[in-house]
Homo-oligomer: A and B are copies of this chain.
Amino acid sequence: MKRLPTTERGRKSLQKILEASKKVFAEKGFHKTKIYDIAIGAGVAYGLVYSYFNGKKDILIELVKMINHDLRKHLAVRTSGLKDRISIEQEGFKAFFEWFRENKFAYKILREAEIVDEEIYKWHYKKIAEGYSRRLESAMKKGEIRKMDPELLSYTLMGIADFVGKRYILWGDSELDETKLSQLLSALSAMLKP
A153: B residues at CB distance < 8 A? 187
The reply on A98 being an interface residue by CB < 8 A is no
Distance in angstroms from A172 CB to nearest chain B CB is 11
The answer to whether A190 touches B159, judged by C-beta atoms less than 8 angstroms apart, is no
Which of A30, A115, A161 has the largest count of B CB atoms less than 10 A from its CB? A115
Distance in angstroms from A78 CB to nearest chain B CB is 21
Main secondary structure of the interface of A (DSSP, over half): helix
A160: B residues at CB distance < 8 A? 156, 159-160
Which of A148, A183, A191 has the largest count of B CB atoms less than 10 A from its CB? A191
| Nearest-CB residue, chain B, relative to A147 | B183
- Count residues on chain A whose CB falls below 8 Å from chain B CBs: 39
Docked complex Cα distance between A174 and B154 (Å): 14
| Nearest-CB residue, chain B, relative to A167 | B155
The answer to whether A111 touches B122, judged by C-beta atoms less than 8 angstroms apart, is no
Distance in angstroms from A123 CB to nearest chain B CB is 11
The answer to whether B187 touches A149, judged by C-beta atoms less than 8 angstroms apart, is no
